[in-house]
Amino acid sequence: MKGKIKVILTVILMVTLVMMMTPSVMADGTGSSEVSTAVSQEQPSDEGIAEDQTASDQSQTASDQTAEDNADDQSGTTSDKDQQDTEDTVESDAVKKKAAEPREETTHYVTTAKAVRLATTLDAFDNSTTLSDGTYIPFGITVSGGTGKVTITCPQITVKGGKAYGKIIFSSKFYTKIKVNGVTYKATTVGTASVFADVPVELNKDMEITGTTTAMSAAHDVIYKVNVKLAEPAVDASTVTVDNSTDIKDNSYKPDSFTYSGGSGKVKISCSQITVSDGHAFATIVFGSRYYTKLKADGRVYDGIIDTAKGTSTYVIPLSLNKDNTIIGTTTAMAEAHDITYTVRAGLTSSSAIIKADDPSSGDTGKDDITTDKKKKLKDGTYKIRTEVTGKMFYIYPRDASVHYSIITVMNGKIKATITLNGQGYDYVYMGTESQAKKASKSSWIKYKAKNGFYSYTIPVSKLDTKLNISAHSRNYNKWYGDRTIKFYSGTAKKVKSGTTTTGNKKNTYKRNSGKSTVVSASATTASVNNSTTLKDGTYSPDSFNWSGGSGRLAYIRCSKITVSNGRAYAAITFSSSSYDSLKAGGRIYAKTGGGMSTFVIPVKLNANNTIIGRTTAMSSAHWVRYSIYIAKAEGGASTKATTLSTYKMPTKAPTITGLTYKSTVKIKKAGYFKIFKYEDGVTLIVMDLTSNTELYQKSKSESKSADKVEYDEEGNPIAKSQHEITEALYQNNIVNYLVVPKGYDVPAGLDKKCIIVEKPVKDAYVASDESLAFMDRLSVTDKIGTVGISKSKIKTASVSKALKAGDIKYAGSYKSPDYSTLVKNKTKLCILSDNVLPAKVEGKTSGIFASKKAKKAAAEAKDKEKSLTTLEERFTALSVPVLVDRSADEKGKLAKAEWIKVYGVLSGQEKKAVKIFNKEVNDEK
């Protein structure tokens, strides 16, 4: 009998729900639930919508705006008894339903045309992450959309197979479903909240979540934009990926033993705890020095948590238990950042001591509460607080840190903050806009106070958790600069002792390593050089000068003059630093001359690379750094003129390249997106147009700034750039120049600042283009492919498919989500992408009253593609892997497409064969 009653009640409930939903479905104008389902898969056109339909949509919009309010209000009115009942039963109900109800479903849960249109704006994203598998706590989340009454949180991120998943919690139990990345997830009700488990999350980027609330008579969708903050380490090939899996139960443990070796022994390293999460071990590694700002481990680069007061740098990294692990610490204690390799080993067993949350032996990781979405009222006292600023050339110390702090003092409800800037160019700041600062009396300007070599300013803070206008006055230019804001996050405030500062000593300013250390031992030497020359004795200016090397923190090296004496050449070399006191060159050591910037007079071989090793004495312990210089002066032979590579439009003749002698031009008959120029010694220049007829094309009719030209900030200081930063910038030009050189070729110094250097014949390439695979197959060079970005089932080239099946070629993820770990293991030397990565040119108006929805959508897609391409270029550059885009599919005509085989002929060393194959196709077309 009870069973029959349950069935009857269920039928009545279903009928009621259908009746409630019917008016909303009818608002679509279809009158059919089947048609509604079809509409949900395709955005309806605005054309032909009747007046009553428009009115329905307007009414629906108003209803959408109140749905979230009502959801929150109704959630808040649940009685204590009801709430208790819900809490008592939800777990058992969830367990019972788990087997019957799938977590995901692909149907789109919408009941109105308005909701359909909103829901179809969702963009797909990639939830890949460089984080190791395990469980993490995000340090913040930002949410926009809705009315703001419903709170969305993400207390936990789980990484599985290199993909990030989050636990998403809505503060209202009426949110029954959410749609993320095209997939719908059902809620588990816990008290008055809705919990969604294992939701894919794209970390540190905006993603859309469409929440379905049933607070009203019919279900409504509300779209939110959510950004979950969690630091992701960069991929790096300096260390190998470790296997940190373990059978030890999940918990936090005190290691039974910890040993380390390497370095000078001056810096102590400890392991305060080991956390096992989801069967993977993570160690808290603490350096007894605040100058260890990066740590390379597990094939990644981790940012340190720096505690200047305690003088420590803390990292949490994956660790293989009871085995030796190689880690590389980047120290900035010297003027030039350099890497030190250590071997660490932590002992742990299933019987090791468990660390409780409040156990002092767990150690202080130095990690402050940096959750920015929380707010709290601060009592009188002194606090260290997270601070964010915006504005060009306005940086809180240390400039390159991911999180910045200031010291605030609260007294009788009034707040004052002491902020410390990274430079010394501003003598005053003013809390207000630029125009307000100009009008204000000088007595209201806030002057700097020098401490530890830094400029600090004590400013009044009218409100926390709010962007406040702040202007800065340049001492050098006697000018106010506005368009800057500053924000203090109360939720991050941590009480500290009065007098606490956020700086170290000026000479220990935070330095960022380029990722490739050129620090050498004191015993390193240079070979003697043959500095004889046919030039007559006298003083000359170099025709051109270039340099390479270093850690990327030196803004420039210059050569002011060449002196020829007794038929031998000597050059005056100047560094953009006064800390270099000695220079090894030509097999000898030279002392700097004069004061100011470090200048040396050394023997040089003209029109050739010269290795020099400079000693920097910024600290008591000197370090030697290797550089390469090329001084060009006409003696005959190779070009001595400055390099003239185009970055804006395709060249009409062979570019002049310092140190190279032009030989010939490869005739390109049909193709329009590339040109090939040959130089002596087997060097080839491939010039590629990667932006024409795409949204990437820059309309500015000027060449990009040369990497040789030193830029200065508003403080008058030269801006240094690492080689990685320079390479990344090369990809942003209209024209990208690839210098293809034989393996082992000594590339003239400085050309790596102007060209993407590719070694030939290429090997271990990552290819994510069908066209590229076909070209390489025709040239019989598929053995040069190490990995592919196309799945086995979609590969059209038989030889590649066979090699993939045999294991000779490996799948390393699509270009949308490369498996960087596999790429590193396979020592990838070149990345070839298809034209699919280029954003299509947007047609039509994207703004103003005549803007079209189609154009707006295309513009948004183009922007996303551009962002994804930039990310790919940055990540491959970090691995020192050149990126090339095959545009053969964009060419007009069969022969123009076919002519791209010449590019692969150059890359593989099969140029003659490539020309022969193309000429045959030309003849076949006649």
DSSP bridge partners of 716: none
With beta carbons less than 8 A apart as the criterion, state whether 113 and 57 touch.
Answer: yes
Tens digits of per-residue pLDDT, 235-259? 788 888 888 889 999 888 999 999 9
The confidence score (pLDDT) of residue 77 equals 38
Q: Is the confidence at residue 662, as pLDDT, over 70?
A: yes
Predicted confidence band of residue 453 (pLDDT cuts 50, 70, 90) = low
Can you tell me the distance from the alpha carbon of 227 to that of 168, in angstroms, rounded to the nearest whole number? 12
Spatial contact of 325 and 300, defined as CB atoms under 8 Å apart: no
* Amino acid letter for position 856: K
Q: What is the pLDDT of residue 636?
A: 55
pTM over 0.85: no
Residue scoring higher pLDDT (113 or 879): 879
Give the sign of the dihedral formed by CA 381, CA 382, CA 387, CA 390: positive
In the structure, what pLDDT confidence band is assigned to residue 168 with cuts at 50, 70 and 90? very high
Is residue 808 pLDDT above 50, yes or no? yes
Q: Strand pairing of 623-632 and 544-549? A: antiparallel
Query: Once rounded to an integer, what is the mean pLDDT over residues 158-163?
Result: 85
What are the pLDDT digits (tens) for 22-62? 433 333 333 333 323 332 333 333 333 333 333 333 333 33
Q: What's residue 5's pLDDT?
A: 55
CA atoms in the 13 A half-sphere facing the CB of 550: 27
Reply yes or no on whether the pLDDT at 110 is more than 70: no
Name the helix (H) or strand (E) containing 280.
Answer: strand 280-287
Per-residue pLDDT tens over the stretch 318-375: 999 999 999 999 988 776 778 899 999 999 998 888 886 434 333 333 343 444 557 8
Cβ count within 10 A of residue 913: 17
Sheet bearing 426-430, strands edge to edge: 446-447, 426-430, 471-474, 479-481
Tell me the residue ranges of DSSP E strands in 566-719.
568-575, 580-585, 588-591, 599-603, 609-616, 623-632, 662-666, 674-679, 683-689
Please spell the DSSP secondary structure of 150-217, one letter per residue.
Answer: S-EEEEEEEEETTEEEEEEEES-TTEEEEEETTEEEE-EEETTEEEEEEEE--TTS-EEEEEEE-SSS
- With residues binned 3-state (H G I as helix, E B as strand, rest as coil), the percentages for the chain, rounded to 5, are 20, 35, 45
> Read out DSSP for 526-537?
------B-SSPS
Eight-class DSSP state of 270? E
pLDDT in tens, 376-394: 889 999 999 988 887 766 7
**Domains of the chain (ranges, CATH numbers):** 2-229 (2.60.40.1850), 250-362 (2.60.40.1850), 381-508 (2.60.40), 519-632 (2.60.40.1850), 662-925 (3.40.50.1980)
What pLDDT, on the 0 to 100 scale, is given for residue 502?
Answer: 62
More confident residue, 114 or 779: 779
User: Which pLDDT belongs to residue 217?
Assistant: 74
Could you count the other beta carbons within 10 Å of the beta carbon of residue 898? Answer: 21
pLDDT of residue 33: 32
Q: Identify the weakest region by mean pLDDT among 386-390, 465-469, 735-739.
A: 386-390
Q: Which pLDDT does position 401 carry in this prediction?
A: 57
**pLDDT, average across residues 166-170:** 93
The model's confidence at residue 569, banded by pLDDT at 50, 70 and 90, is very high
Q: What is the mean pLDDT of residues 604-630?
A: 85
Higher pLDDT, 897 or 723: 897
Confidence at residue 12, expressed as pLDDT on a 0 to 100 scale: 56
pLDDT computed for residue 515 by the predictor: 38
- Give the model confidence (pLDDT) of 842-860 as tens digits: 887 777 777 788 888 888 8
Mean of the pLDDT values across residues 536-542? Answer: 92
Span 505-514, average pLDDT: 36
Closest CA to 287 of 402, 366, 230: 366
The rounded mean pLDDT for the chain is 79
pLDDT reading at 171 higher than 60 = yes
Cα–Cα distance measured from residue 752 to residue 738, given in angstroms and rounded to the nearest whole number: 10
For the chain, what is the radius of gyration of the CA atoms? 32
Tens digit of pLDDT for each residue in 411-452? 998 999 999 887 777 889 999 999 999 999 999 999 988 765
pLDDT band at residue 742 under the 50/70/90 scheme: very high
* Range of lowest pLDDT (89-103, 299-313, 809-823): 89-103
Q: Write the burial class of residue 137 (CB in 10 Å: 0-12 exposed, 13-18 middle, 19+ buried).
A: exposed
Averaged pLDDT for residues 214-227: 86
Lowest mean pLDDT among 142-146, 519-523, 773-777: 519-523
Q: Which residues pair with 144 in a beta bridge?
A: 225
Higher-confidence residue: 839 or 12? Answer: 839
542: preceding bond cis by omega (within 30 degrees): no
Kindly state the average pLDDT of the residues 632-647: 72
Read off the DSSP letter of residue 396: B
Contact by Cβ (8 Å): 748, 628: no
CA 598 to chain centre: 35
pLDDT digits (tens, 9 = 90+) for 174-218: 999 999 988 999 999 887 889 999 999 999 888 999 999 987 778
**Residue 368, burial from CB neighbour count under 10 angstroms (0-12, 13-18, 19+):** middle
- Nearest Cα to Cα of residue 336 among 588, 111, 472, 509: 509
